[in-house]
Amino acid sequence: MFSGFMVTAWEAATIVAVVAGVVGFFTVLRGSAFAAHALPNGAFAGAAGASLIGVNVIVGLGVFALLGALTIGGLGRRARQDVATALAIVMMLGLGALFLSMTTEYAPEIYSLLFGEVLGVSGSELLPTAVIGMVCIAVVFVLYRPLLLSSIMPDAAEARGVNGRRMDLAFLVVIALATTMAVPVVGSLLIFSLLIGPPAAARSFTSKPLHAMGLSVALALGTVWAAVALSFATNLPIGFFVGAISACSYAAGRSWVAWRRTRPVTKISRTGLLRA
Amino acid sequence: MEFQADADLPPILTVEGVNVWLSGRQILHDVNFRIEAGEFTGLIGSNGAGKTTLLRVILGLESPTSGRVLVGGRPRSPRNPLIGYVPQKILLDPDMPLRARDLVALGLDGHRFGLPRRSTAQKVLIDEMIDAVDATSFADARVGILSGGEQQRVLIAHALISRPRLLLLDEPLANLDIRSEQEVVELVARIASEQQIAVLISAHDMNPLLPVMDRVIYVAAGRVASGTTEEVVTTEALSELYGHHVDVVQINERILVVAGRETAAHHDHSDSRAE
Ligand SMILES: Nc1ncnc2c1ncn2[C@@H]1O[C@H](COP(=O)(O)OP(=O)(O)OP(=O)(O)O)[C@@H](O)[C@H]1O
Ligand SMILES: [Mg+2]
């Protein structure tokens, strides 16, 4: 399982995990989970449309994810962001239903985008996947402090020249890009779990923001590697394992917090790590 | 605490003829006042009077329909380093992986790009600021689990670490018990006088601020009266501001502003209410 075309699968899964860990940290922190759910699902509709007109599905994914991000960001200025997100996902899924009803031949390939396919990324797609992933990580690193500040105290951030709307929009575009590259590997229904599970679990174990981001990457890597191996061994969809392992690591994090809560302070917590 | 204005310095804040309309309603009416460098000013008014709106105008988050705001004698620039701000509420959950220390550090460089790499000098500064607000004992705890009073102290450190000349605090005493109220007021007053920082602090009750306040800006339905407490908080001045009769009564060194009727005979029927 480490030879030939499987190498591509491992590489793609690794890129996806690193990006999901980094982007997911802010997805949880900013409460953008709903957008992280809506964008890949809407992007799926784009893939269906692309296959209908004979274009590479990645292009369809990307175009729809970006359109979705701009819609949510644009509408979110007037309406509540969750309402805007709901409207965007409904519009895109409606189109998706239409596209799917018109395609018959390529349906199996499209459905694999829902739940993921270990071999979903071909060798030639590895480079674009890596490039999109690097862009996502670079943007998050560059905007790290303004994103943090504007999520906690939007007015104070605004008064210091951090434009909240631009931060929202920039981060939505990052989620759109991250999901575009991740959907073929883990599936559009379950990339969401990878963006939420590891970061949500990580915040249970450390109170330092950068450590939480690092741990989130580590947990996402563990999740995805285990999922690839298990999917390969059992021939079950990788998305199932990603979802299940993410949920388990989150449960483990919560149990750890619950257990720690009422304990007296120990030596480890003096470092700031593991402090509830 | 009597304050002597330095004649050489321009007022740190000048608000001239500011009118604000929002969604077709006039929220602020011809607001005029000045705050001198180092002065401690209370912004007093009941719910909905317009305190937050006035602070937002000063911060540049809301532009006035007419009138102007000068900071340090000049029109305010976006990202004004002269102003520090403590918002009325912050958005975070108890699990958020963010320590009190991290929030203070964001006051130093939260608007900058890139991952934080703070120098030893900056780390020392952060520690000193945390110490100055007596937050050392919980500096490594998550901000989300801190009590209201502890969070206020962290937010004050966040606002002060960039060395502003004017500190705006929006209702920092709301939700605090009397003891924490006093602690926060004393803390702000102490640091402000040590570092010559002017303070504009909004509150619906002026009493906790009376011992430290140099001046008061009283807001009622979008109109303001400013001056010393003796000038502004009088039955005559406040009745004029409110546009109907209010009584200013003093009980045990506490000042109560009571909405009422002119004759004492009617007092038991009136919906008297302390502000
Ligand atoms: N964006 C807005 N559009 C319309 N009206 C607004 C807007 N923002 C505030 N107001 C109104 O302006 C008035 C003053 O509000 P503001 O928040 O400034 O009061 P406040 O003195 O801070 O009250 P509180 O003590 O409750 O915080 C209120 O009546 C409010 O409804
Ligand atoms: Mg207010």
Provide, as residue numbers in chain B, all residues whose Cβ is less than 8 Å from the Cβ of A157. 110-111
pLDDT at A273 (0 to 100): 46
CA distance B246 to A94: 61
Under an 8 A CB cutoff, do B96 and A203 touch? yes
Q: pLDDT digits over B226-275, tens only?
A: 998 888 888 888 888 888 888 888 888 888 888 766 544 444 444 444 44
CA distance B170 to B35: 16
Q: How far is CA B170 from CA A72, B45, B147, B200, B249, in A?
A: 31, 12, 17, 9, 26
Is the residue at B19 inside a domain? yes
The Cα diameter of chain B in Å comes to: 69
Average pLDDT over residues B210-215: 92
Tokens of residue B158, six digits: 């966040």
Q: pLDDT digits over B128-144, tens only?
A: 999 999 999 999 999 99
Q: pLDDT digits over A227-250, tens only?
A: 989 988 998 888 888 889 999 999
Q: Are A160 and A171 in contact (CB under 8 A)?
A: no
Q: Which residues pair with B37 in a beta bridge?
A: none
Pairwise pLDDT comparison (A68 vs B78), residue with the higher score: A68
Q: Are A14 and A194 in contact (CB under 8 A)?
A: no
Is the residue at B7 inside a domain? yes
For chain A, domain boundaries: 5-275
Tokens of residue B140, six digits: 């490594």
Q: What is the mean pLDDT of chain A?
A: 86
Judge if B156 and B170 occupy the same domain. Answer: no
Render A188-209 in DSSP notation, one character per residue: TTTHHHHHHHHHHHHHHHBS-H
Judge if B52 and B29 occupy the same domain. Answer: yes
pLDDT at A102 (0 to 100): 84
Alpha-carbon Rg of chain A, whole angstroms?
19
Provide, as residue numbers in chain B, all residues whose Cβ is less than 8 Å from the Cβ of A149. 106, 110-111
Is the residue at B257 inside a domain? no
Residue type, B221: A
pLDDT at B132 (0 to 100): 92
pLDDT at B266 (0 to 100): 41
Point out the least confidently predicted range of A77-86, A107-116, B22-31, B90-99: A107-116
Which of B18, B20, B21, B22 most suits a substitution to test ligand 1, by most atoms within 8 Å of the C-beta?
A: B22
Judge if B198 and B150 occupy the same domain. Answer: no
When divided into structural domains, chain B yields a total of 2
CA atoms within 13 A on the CB side of B232: 25
Q: Are A64 and A42 in contact (CB under 8 A)?
A: yes
Q: pLDDT digits over B95-136, tens only?
A: 899 999 999 999 999 999 999 999 999 999 999 999 999 999
Average pLDDT over residues B34-45: 94
Nearest protein Cα to ligand 1, atom 28:
B48
B23 lines ligand 1 (CB under 6 A): yes
Q: Would you place residue A76 in the very low, low, confident or very high pLDDT band (cuts 50, 70, 90)?
A: confident
| Assigned architecture for domain A5-275 | Orthogonal Bundle (1.10)
Provide, as residue numbers in chain B, all residues whose Cβ is less than 8 Å from the Cβ of A257. 95
* pTM, full prediction: 0.87
Interface check for A129 against chain B (CB to CB < 8 A): the answer is no
B24 lines ligand 1 (CB under 6 A): no
B50 lines ligand 1 (CB under 6 A): yes
Q: Residue A87: in which H helix or E strand, if any?
A: helix A81-102
User: What φ, ψ does residue B29 adopt, rounded to 5°?
Assistant: -115, 115
pLDDT at B274 (0 to 100): 44
Point out the least confidently predicted range of A90-94, A264-268, B186-190, B246-250: A264-268
Judge if B64 and B174 occupy the same domain. Answer: yes
Is the residue at B265 inside a domain? no
Judge if B187 and B171 occupy the same domain. Answer: yes
Is the residue at B87 inside a domain? no
Return the percentage of chain B with pLDDT > 70, whole number.
91
Distance from CA of B181 to the nearest CA of A (A): 22
Distance from CA of A261 to the nearest CA of B (A): 12
pLDDT(B74) > 70? yes
Q: pLDDT digits over A188-197, tens only?
A: 877 888 899 9
pLDDT(A139) > 60? yes
Tokens of residue B96, six digits: 């958020």
Q: Would you place residue B2 in the very low, low, confident or very high pLDDT band (cuts 50, 70, 90)?
A: very low
Is the residue at B221 inside a domain? yes
pLDDT at A192 (0 to 100): 83
State the residue range of the domain holding B51. Answer: 1-82+164-236
Judge if B48 and B175 occupy the same domain. Answer: yes
Q: Are B46 and B204 in contact (CB under 8 A)?
A: yes
